[in-house]
């Protein structure tokens, strides 16, 4: 138990709050301000003014929406990433002097002289943070002025905000060792906590009465530390932080799941307030969590009842019951930051009329928090509206399609297995006449400015559907011709018709809706517009056959059909909360199986089903991973289940650390699997053993950079792959799709790739 702080702060914790709000702006103001600055169209002053205006505007909107108590509005001050912002504030990055805006963006984006910090996913969300690097003997020089400026700026506009930083345990748990370091980041916890104490003291001096430290590390089983170890770190760090004489009151938050040992450790450390994630999804996984939280004594609870990362209108009455179980004087909040949802449903003008009332984006969720805190007597209209949404959604034919239910009910339960097994299929597929060390690409070819403009013109009604189709066909012709010229063995149509590999299918499947303005920050200035799974999923008609068949008609070489897999479609969408994900996954599996069948009928012999997001949905808790992998693998296998033995099924995954799920990737039972491998220089193939019985295409060309790899370089990577993997089952391909590249570099790189393959093939056929 820590000694209480000496500063007599008395501001109570607000009764209603949130854990964070979208930073990007309702009109994506931050995105455009960043891009104007980076391109030199705007000055640093313009940028600072724009980002300040956006923050102040947000505070005013939140206050008007009912977050009108002091410290109800959290602020992280991030213009690029909140992990980067905290790292700069506590001196984990840029310790030499105060980091300028330009240097901050260099850390985030890199330049010719300095690579960018690595980027990775923030817990199990689609947000990417920058990974701080910690060297041996690191010193942390606190930079509280960053947060003080934020506080002053808000004050000047009449707002008393709650500064929010990533907590020290989470910050280190998510950092990585700098190159050559022998110490683990968490070994630096004591030193880092000193820096937090200085920052907090400065905030207290400035009269700040509440700060928030977010510690989601305690809800995950991380590779760097297990639950018990993290809890010990929490105990040590917060004894120091809360024992400081001069500090504001501290809210510790634990979004993204249920804390276990960490919950008890935090309760013992006794911050002035503790936030817990009580979202529907969290409680479904850990049903006794409400009970465990309710039994904590002497701590002000902040109940994260409104789901911060999904888009469904809350069942206010049920949540109000849960709130009452937690005791009196409990504050209400969101389960996570609202960073993960779009700004407002009000910006959507094309949603189906029955669906719109079911939805709740950031602004609607703020209203829900306020209504939940107020109670049904004070906010009767909000509760009545919530009741209607819950009732109409549950009864809708959109959510429960009898035909879909009949088809999934007829499926075998558990594991499904394509017949015959790989060895026999591989024999049969020799009829495809594919040469040794076959060359192919991952699917997309450069999405030129011209294609984008044509798509926009079509959407705006400026050109007819027929004109649009002609333009796309011209593109397919050019792509096929290019591949023929380069001598690739298995061709693709290039995917010019796809705006996005998930949205394209979502627009064609029943059970999804797409938004006009539902932008969500992915990282920095980059946003995605995830589709929404609103009900049972089915395929009204073929989705890709026309394009693949057209491309095949242009060549005697095989053209690969190109589908996005069930797990990836779900991972990059907002999902239902009324059925388990595995239900939607089965439905997608069947829909894709129908597409596979139609492609076969149209004469397509090779079909790729992309699953780049297979690892992204991996649960944060270890014991839940086998169950997830089981339904994920099953959904993929359903898509391929009835494929003819002669049909060669490919899959594609991209990220380098696939060691964690290598067994699941093998279990997909694809005939050919392409993976990202160039940047790790084939190192990951060391993990590949007999478990990987089928063919493999480790990428030999990093498509993330415009650099054209030389023939020698790629030949060396093929040889490196051959040291781990048999010649007869090795494919030659880039790391991923080429849609972000330009044509000049793509053509040069693919030419070198084919030459590298020829060079290696010439030597191996001599020695074999
Ligand atoms: N077929 C897709 C493409 O080439 C795969 C993209 C991905 O893996 N992210 O664009
Ligand atoms: Zn990829």
pLDDT one-digit tens code per residue, 414-445: 999 999 999 999 999 999 999 999 999 999 99
Tell me: pLDDT of 648 over 80.
Answer: yes
Distance (Å, whole) CA 116 – CA 101: 15
Ligand 2: centre distance to CA 718 (Å): 19
Q: Band the pLDDT of 97: cuts 50, 70, 90.
A: confident
Distance (Å, whole) CA 354 – CA 705: 45
Q: How far is CA 218 from the centre of its chain?
A: 20
pLDDT digits (tens, 9 = 90+) for 451-505: 999 999 999 999 999 999 999 999 999 999 999 999 999 999 999 999 899 999 9
pLDDT at 656: 58
Q: DSSP code of 619? A: -
**pTM attached to this predicted model:** 0.94
Q: Is 459 annotated as a binding residue?
A: no
Percent of the chain with pLDDT over 90: 90
Nearest to 664 by CA among 613, 731, 715, 604: 613
Residue with CA nearest ligand 1 atom 8: 612
Ligand 1: centre distance to CA 603 (Å): 22
Distance (Å, whole) CA 485 – CA 479: 10
Number of H helices, E strands in the chain: 26, 20
Percent of the chain with pLDDT over 70: 98
Same-fold call for 29-395 versus 423-763:
yes
Is 441 in contact with 732 (CB distance < 8 Å)?
A: no
Residue with CA nearest ligand 1 atom 10: 737
5 classed as catalytic: no
Task: Spell out which residues line ligand 1, taking CB within 6 angstroms.
Answer: 442-444, 495, 501, 562, 610, 612, 652, 654, 736-737, 739
pLDDT digits (tens, 9 = 90+) for 142-168: 999 999 999 999 999 999 999 999 999
> For 599, phi and psi rounded to 5 degrees?
-65, -45
Residue with CA nearest ligand 1 atom 3: 737
What is the residue-averaged pLDDT of the chain?
Answer: 95
Q: Band the pLDDT of 259: cuts 50, 70, 90.
A: very high
3-class state of residue 146 by DSSP = helix
Q: Band the pLDDT of 1: cuts 50, 70, 90.
A: very low
Closest ligand to C-alpha of residue 676 is 2
Beta bridge partners of 214: 166, 253
Q: Is 31 annotated as a binding residue?
A: yes
Ligand 1: centre distance to CA 422 (Å): 24
Closest-lying ligand 1 atom to the alpha carbon of residue 444? 4
Q: Band the pLDDT of 384: cuts 50, 70, 90.
A: very high
Among 5, 159, 597, 704, the active-site one is 704
For a mutational test of ligand 1's pocket, the pick from 493, 548, 567, 612, i.e. the residue with the most ligand atoms closer than 8 A to its C-beta, is 612
DSSP letter for each residue of 434-490: PPSS-BB--SB----HHHHHHHHHHHTTSS-HHHHHHHHHHHHHHHHHHHHHHT-SB
Ligand 2: centre distance to CA 734 (Å): 9
DSSP letter for each residue of 14-43: PSB--S---SS-TT-HHHHHHHHHHTTSS-
CB atoms within 10 A of CB 79: 25
Ligand 1: centre distance to CA 614 (Å): 13
Closest-lying ligand 1 atom to the alpha carbon of residue 737? 4
User: Where is average pLDDT lowest: 350-364, 480-494, 666-680?
Assistant: 666-680
Tell me: pLDDT of 139 over 50.
Answer: yes
Fold of 29-395: TIM Barrel (3.20.20)
**Would you list the domain boundaries of the chain?**
29-395, 423-763
Q: Is 569 annotated as a binding residue?
A: no
Q: Band the pLDDT of 2: cuts 50, 70, 90.
A: very low
For a mutational test of ligand 1's pocket, the pick from 496, 569, 610, i.e. the residue with the most ligand atoms closer than 8 A to its C-beta, is 610
Is 745 in contact with 708 (CB distance < 8 Å)?
A: yes
Over range 29-57, report the average pLDDT: 98
Q: Is residue 38 packed enough to be buried (19+ CB in 10 Å), middle (13-18) or exposed (0-12)?
A: middle
Tell me: pLDDT of 768 over 60.
Answer: no
Is 588 in contact with 570 (CB distance < 8 Å)?
A: yes
Residues 6+ apart with CB under 8 A from 550: 473, 476, 493
More confident residue, 751 or 689: 751
pLDDT at 425: 98
Q: What share of the chain is helix, strand, coil (3-state, %, to 5)?
A: 45, 15, 40
CA 409, 414, 419: angle at the middle one, nearest 5? 95
CATH number listed for the domain at residues 423-763: 3.20.20.210
Residue with CA nearest ligand 1 atom 9: 612
Residue with CA nearest ligand 1 atom 1: 443
Q: Would you tell me the crossing angle of helices 261-269 and 227-242 to the nearest 10 degrees? A: 10
Distance (Å, whole) CA 702 – CA 753: 11
Distance (Å, whole) CA 520 – CA 28: 9
Distance (Å, whole) CA 392 – CA 387: 9
Closest ligand to C-alpha of residue 505 is 1
Distance (Å, whole) CA 93 – CA 81: 13
Distance (Å, whole) CA 125 – CA 270: 29
Ligand 2: centre distance to CA 610 (Å): 8
Q: DSSP code of 238? A: H
Over range 367-389, report the average pLDDT: 98
Residues 6+ apart with CB under 8 A from 659: 684, 687
How far CA 67 is from CA of 205, 296, 368, in Å, comes to 25, 26, 11
Over range 696-710, report the average pLDDT: 91
Q: DSSP code of 218? A: G
Instruction: Return the exposure string of 46-75: e unless at least 16 CB atoms fall within 10 Å of the residue's CB, then b.
Output: ebeebbbebbbebbebbbebbbebebbbbb
Over range 590-607, report the average pLDDT: 98
Residues 6+ apart with CB under 8 A from 220: 123, 256, 257, 620, 621
Tell me: pLDDT of 294 over 70.
Answer: yes
User: Where is average pLDDT lowest: 78-87, 125-134, 686-695, 730-739?
Assistant: 686-695
pLDDT at 10: 87
pLDDT at 654: 86
CB atoms within 10 A of CB 145: 13
Tell me: pLDDT of 567 over 90.
Answer: yes
């Amino acid at each position: 138990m820590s000694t209480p702080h000496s500063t007599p702060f008395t501001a109570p914790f607000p009764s209603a709050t949130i854990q964070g709000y979208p930073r990007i702006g309702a009109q994506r103001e931050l995105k455009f301000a960043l891009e104007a600055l980076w391109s030199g169209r705007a000055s640093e002053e313009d940028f600072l003014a724009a980002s300040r205006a956006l923050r102040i505007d947000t505070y005013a909107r939140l206050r008007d929406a009912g977050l009108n108590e002091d410290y109800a509005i959290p602020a992280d001050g991030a213009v690029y990433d909140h992990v980067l912002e905290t790292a700069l504030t506590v001196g984990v990055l840029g310790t030499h002097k105060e980091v300028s805006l330009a240097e901050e963006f260099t850390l985030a984006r890199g330049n010719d002289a300095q690579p960018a910090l690595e980027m990775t996913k923030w817990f199990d969300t689609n947000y990417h943070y920058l990974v701080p690097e910690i060297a041996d003997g690191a010193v942390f020089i606190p930079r509280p002025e960053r947060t003080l400026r934020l506080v002053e700026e808000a004050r000047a506009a009449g707002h008393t905000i709650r500064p929010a930083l990533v907590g020290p345990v989470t910050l280190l748990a998510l950092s990585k060792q700098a190159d050559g370091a022998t110490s683990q980041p968490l070994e630096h916890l004591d030193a880092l906590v000193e820096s937090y104490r200085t920052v907090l003291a400065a905030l207290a001096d400035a009269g700040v009465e509440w700060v928030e430290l977010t510690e989601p590390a305690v809800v995950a089983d991380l590779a760097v530390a297990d639950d018990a170890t993290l809890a010990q770190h929490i105990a040590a760090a917060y004894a120091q932080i809360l024992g400081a004489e001069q500090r504001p009151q501290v809210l510790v938050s634990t979004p993204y799941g249920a804390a276990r040992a960490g919950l008890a450790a935090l309760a013992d450390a006794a911050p002035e307030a503790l936030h817990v994630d009580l979202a529907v999804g969290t409680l479904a996984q850990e049903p006794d969590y409400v009970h465990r939280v309710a039994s904590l004594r002497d701590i002000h609870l902040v109940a994260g009842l409104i789901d911060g990362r999904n888009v469904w209108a809350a069942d206010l009455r049920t949540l109000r019951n849960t709130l009452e179980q937690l005791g009196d004087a409990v504050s209400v909040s969101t389960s996570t930051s609202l960073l993960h949802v779009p700004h407002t449903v009000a910006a959507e003008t094309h949603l189906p009329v029955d669906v719109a009332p079911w939805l709740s984006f950031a602004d609607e969720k703020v209203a829900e928090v306020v209504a939940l805190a107020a109670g049904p007597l004070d906010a009767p209209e909000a509760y009545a509206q919530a009741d209607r949404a819950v009732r109409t959604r549950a009864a809708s034919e959109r959510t429960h399609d009898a035909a879909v239910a009949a088809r999934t009910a007829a499926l075998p339960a558990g594991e499904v297995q394509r017949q015959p097994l790989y060895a026999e299929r591989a024999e049969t597929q020799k009829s495809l006449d594919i040469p040794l060390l076959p060359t192919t690409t991952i699917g997309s070819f450069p999405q030129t400015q011209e294609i984008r403009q044509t798509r926009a013109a079509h959407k705006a009604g400026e050109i007819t559907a027929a004109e649009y189709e002609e333009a796309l066909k011209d593109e397919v012709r050019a792509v096929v011709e290019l591949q023929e010229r380069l001598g690739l063995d298995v061709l693709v149509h290039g995917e010019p018709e796809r705006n996005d590999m998930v949205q394209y299918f979502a627009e064609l499947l029943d059970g999804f809706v797409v938004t006009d303005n539902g932008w969500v920050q992915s990282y920095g200035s980059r946003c995605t517009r995830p589709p929404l799974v609103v009900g049972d999923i089915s395929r009204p008609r073929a989705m890709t056959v026309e394009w693949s068949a057209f491309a095949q008609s242009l060549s005697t070489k095989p053209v690969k059909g190109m589908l996005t897999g069930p797990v990836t479609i779900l991972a990059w969408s907002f999902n239902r909360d009324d059925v388990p994900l595995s239900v939607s996954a089965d439905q997608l599996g069947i829909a894709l199986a129908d597409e596979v069948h139609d492609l076969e009928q149209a004469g397509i012999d090779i079909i790729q089903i992309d699953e780049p997001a297979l690892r992204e949905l991996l649960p944060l808790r270890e014991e839940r991973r086998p169950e997830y992998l089981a339904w994920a693998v099953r959904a993929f296998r359903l898509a391929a289940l009835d494929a003819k033995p002669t049909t060669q099924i490919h899959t594609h995954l991209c990220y380098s650390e696939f060691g964690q799920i290598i067994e699941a990737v093998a279990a997909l039972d694809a005939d050919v699997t392409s993976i990202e491998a160039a940047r790790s220089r084939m190192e990951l193939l060391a993990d590949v053993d007999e478990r990987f019985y089928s063919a493999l295409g480790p990428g030999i060309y990093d498509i993330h950079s415009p650099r054209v790899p030389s023939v020698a370089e790629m030949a060396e990577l093929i040889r490196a792959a051959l040291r781990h993997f048999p010649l007869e089952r090795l494919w030659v391909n880039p790391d991923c799709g080429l849609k972000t590249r330009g044509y000049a570099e793509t053509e040069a790189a693919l030419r070198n790739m084919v030459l590298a393959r020829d060079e290696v093939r010439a030597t191996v056929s001599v020695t074999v």
